[in-house]
Homo-oligomer: A and B are copies of this chain.
């Protein structure tokens, strides 16, 4: 029985991890095509077992884009253990994921963030999200982005989009500014419908669609010229992005305060930001 359970657990982990790795390749390939320059790669080791691979590109279209994957295992410290689902019987965890953060040269192209992950403690679940942070919001792009996510969600479960959009709006919010971080998207955690293959199918479609939609919006807007004033709007918007990530983003705070790879976690920082 134990072998069956383990082999089933191993099968799920392998499916998730292999697809994260595969999706990373395709994000990098597509973004290299768009930019005309190449990603550089760097590995890091986790303090427990495993580690990650950062892919970073600073180019013509992408001022800075990171595509990170990681697969780690270990044991939560007591004080954090209580914050994590499924740790009643054991503090051990396994986690694998992909994370994409794109800060663009053009203030007319939104910054994009996407990540998804598969976690195993005493329970297993998927988490993830995708959201856009335009400096100068373009109604058409915002609609394309949201409509595309809604379509993918509805293909799998008609309650997903409304629920996950609401979670995104609540999560990516700066209370100290009374401002949303950007124009939203979706955010979800603890997704487990007791059917791994069905849940994975949603995650898969969501990730593939995000790659396509992001790329389409970037390609549509990237050639438009901008002024110094328009660039400054973007740089001040990035100041807010920094504030959100360092003050409020649970993932960033959790990673930094539990000995994650600072370099990989803070890959989300913009290349340049301004404050008034």
Contact = CB atoms under 8 A, between A and B. Distances in A.
Q: How many copies altogether?
A: 2
Which range contains the number of A residues in contact with the other chain? 20 to 34
Contacts of A176: 256-257, 262
A272 interface: yes
Contacts of A246: 242-243, 246-247
B177 A269 contact: no
Interface string A264-276: 0010011111111
A135 interface: no
A154 to B, nearest CB: 37
Interface string A67-90: 000000000000000000000000
B239 A177 contact: no
Contacts of A262: 176-177
Nearest to A235: B272
A262 B248 CA distance: 15
Nearest to A269: B275
Interface string A154-177: 000000000000000000000011
Interface of A: 64, 176-177, 235, 239, 242-243, 246-247, 253, 256-257, 262, 266, 269-276
